């Protein structure tokens, strides 16, 4: 590295961890775009348009799933392999993968890389990073392998598909599911398997596990082993908030979809009672940033689309493959609102008081998300002739790195595609991480301003 120019050396070695995460994702998107723009990446042997390659690469790295071309027919085996690799890299984490390679090659991590990995994986401390890295890799490979095995056997034994095709489709959809990417090789996503629990449930299970976040899974595994030795279990506030909020939103989303789509002949109407329940549960799970669909999204009731937008905006757990503002952000804001309505001086839940800076962070993430979605929706409405609810749906899907689409993405002009690309990148990197990365410098105020209370409400 000594031969590098001084400005480049400073960028590599002295960059703020948040900025390094954003740069790493950006570089990976560029690499993916270059590979997908090669003639060998398409089925007809012609180079994909640059914007198509950029959109697809960004969607894969940011584990979103929105596409402007059909994945299974437009891209060749090489192109699909590139997409699958980008999904795995983006879901596992750019800095996590780089750190893993550094450990394998040199057996040590630089402090700057350790801090970047901590910022990306939400590790609790610097000394915890190596352990987190090993566990993240083990969890990822285990869940993907189990899901791929179930899907492969189902396609081969239950659907009569050739074994090589069953294995390929099983692995691709398993990786896409656990990483909450939503990329599928079927033109209609998983509509053809709407009443097949051996396909729907493994995919939904992988999505939920990837969506609750690695910190939660790792803590559950630690407490399981600790309970065997000590007989005691002490869950952290983050774990309790994530599991409780995830369960509530999953049940609420299922009930909402069942209620609103029960008689809709374009979605759940033609299915039996079991198929309706399975379809509603699957849609609720996918709305948490996964992107697969087993029903026609465009045929859903406007009320269902709006409710799905709320689920997509909230997203999944922190430090995992999910997007959105995260369930803990939503829960913290809910607790703060409840405390304010009750007139309590501070916010608390599960016997713990929430720190003021946590409330500020939650409010910042939520308001930045609302501002980005609203501004982008207004811009898209000025560019396309489409219903406002469909435009909002595509916008929230991009920001939440969900990938569900009402069919609008295929017909967007170039400027609109660039807006969605920007939203997908921000949604994966994170609003606060990106803002921190773009900040010119950190400032510390050495004085206190006089206090004054404006009228609120």
pLDDT at 381 over 90: yes
pLDDT tens digit sequence for 35-69: 999 999 999 999 999 999 999 999 999 989 899 99
How confident is the model over 360-373, as a mean pLDDT?
89
**Given a cut of 90, is residue 344 above it in pLDDT?**
no
Q: Is the pLDDT of residue 102 over 50?
A: no
Q: How confident is the model at residue 11 (pLDDT cuts 50, 70, 90)?
A: very low
Whether residue 403 contacts residue 397, with contact meaning beta carbons closer than 8 Å, is answered with yes
Q: For residues 21 and 16, what is the distance between their CA atoms, to the nearest angstrom? A: 9
**Distances from the Cα of 8 to the Cα of 12, 58, 95, 119, angstroms:** 6, 24, 18, 22
Give residue-wise pLDDT tens across range 222-278.
776 555 555 555 788 888 889 999 999 999 999 999 999 999 999 999 999 999 999
- What's the mean per-residue pLDDT of the chain? 83
Please tell me the predicted confidence (pLDDT) of residue 7: 52
pLDDT of residue 204: 95
The pLDDT of residue 12 is above 50:
no
Average pLDDT for 90-109: 55
pLDDT level of residue 1 (50, 70, 90 thresholds): very low
Answer whether 305's CB lies under 8 Å from 261's CB.
no
**Position 24 pLDDT exceeds 90:** no
pLDDT value at residue 4: 44
- Check pLDDT > 80 for residue 5: no
Q: What is the pLDDT of residue 235?
A: 81
- Report the pLDDT averaged over residues 424-452: 69
Confidence of residue 433 (pLDDT cuts 50, 70, 90): low
Q: pLDDT per residue over 310-333, tens digit each?
A: 999 999 887 777 888 889 889 999
- Which pTM does this prediction carry? 0.85
- % of the chain exceeding 70 in pLDDT: 81
pLDDT digits (tens, 9 = 90+) for 391-424: 999 999 999 999 899 888 888 899 999 999 999 9
108-154 residue pLDDT tens: 545 455 555 555 555 544 445 666 677 778 888 999 999 999 999 99
Per-residue pLDDT, 134: 76
Q: What percent of the chain has pLDDT over 90?
A: 52
The pLDDT-based confidence of 105 (bands split at 50, 70, 90) is very low
- pLDDT value at position 343? 82
Mean pLDDT of 290-294: 89
Say yes or no to pLDDT of 338 above 50: yes
- pLDDT tier for residue 450 given thresholds of 50, 70 and 90: confident
- 14-23, 162-171, 379-388, 416-425: which has the minimum mean pLDDT? 14-23
Report, as an integer, the average pLDDT of 385-390: 91
| 172-192 mean pLDDT | 92
For the chain, the domains span 6-225+235-438
pLDDT for res 439? 52
């Amino acid at each position: 590295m000594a031969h590098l120019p001084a400005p480049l050396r400073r960028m590599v070695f002295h960059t703020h961890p948040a900025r390094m995460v954003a740069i790493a994702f950006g570089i990976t998107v560029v690499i993916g775009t270059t590979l997908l723009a090669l003639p060998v990446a398409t089925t007809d042997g012609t180079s994909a348009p640059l914007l198509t390659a950029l959109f697809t690469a960004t969607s894969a790295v940011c584990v979103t799933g929105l596409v402007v071309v059909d994945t299974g027919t437009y891209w060749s085996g090489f192109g699909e392999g590139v997409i699958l690799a980008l999904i795995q890299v983006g879901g596992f984490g750019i800095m996590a993968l780089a750190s893993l390679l550094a450990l394998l090659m040199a057996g040590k991590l630089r402090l700057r890389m350790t801090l970047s990995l901590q910022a990306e994986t939400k590790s609790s401390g610097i000394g915890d990073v190596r352990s987190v890295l090993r566990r993240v890799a083990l969890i990822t490979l285990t869940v993907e392998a189990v899901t791929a095995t179930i899907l492969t056997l189902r396609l081969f034994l239950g659907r009569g598909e050739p074994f090589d095709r069953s294995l390929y489709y099983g692995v691709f959809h398993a990786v896409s599911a656990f990483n909450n990417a939503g990329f599928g090789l079927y033109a209609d996503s998983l509509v053809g398997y709407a009443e097949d629990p051996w396909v729907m449930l493994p995919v939904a299970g992988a999505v939920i596990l990837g969506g609750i976040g690695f910190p939660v899974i790792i803590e559950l595994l630690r407490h399981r082993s600790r309970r065997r030795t000590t007989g005691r279990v002490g869950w952290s506030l983050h774990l309790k908030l994530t599991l409780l909020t995830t369960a509530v939103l999953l049940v609420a989303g299922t009930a909402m979809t069942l209620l609103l789509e029960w008689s809709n002949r374009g979605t759940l109407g033609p299915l039996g009672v079991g198929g309706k329940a399975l379809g509603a549960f699957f849609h609720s799970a996918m709305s948490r940033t996964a992107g697969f669909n087993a029903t026609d999204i465009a045929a859903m009731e406007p009320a269902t689309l709006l409710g799905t937008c709320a689920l997509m905006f909230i997203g999944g757990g922190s430090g995992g493959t999910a997007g959105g503002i995260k369930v803990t952000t939503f829960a913290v804001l809910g607790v703060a609102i409840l405390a304010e309505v009750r007139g309590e001086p501070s916010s608390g839940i599960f016997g713990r008081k929430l720190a003021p800076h946590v409330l500020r962070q939650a409010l910042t993430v939520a308001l930045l998300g609302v501002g980005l979605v609203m501004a982008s929706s207004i811009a898209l409405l000025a560019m396309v002739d489409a219903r406002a609810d469909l435009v909002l749906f595509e916008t929230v899907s991009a920001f939440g790195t969900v990938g569900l689409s009402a069919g609008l993405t295929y017909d967007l002009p170039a400027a609109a595609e660039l807006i969605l690309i920007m939203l997908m990148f921000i949604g994966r990197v994170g609003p606060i991480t990106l803002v921190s990365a773009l900040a010119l410098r950190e400032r510390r105020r050495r004085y206190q301003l006089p206090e004054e209370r404006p009228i609120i409400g």
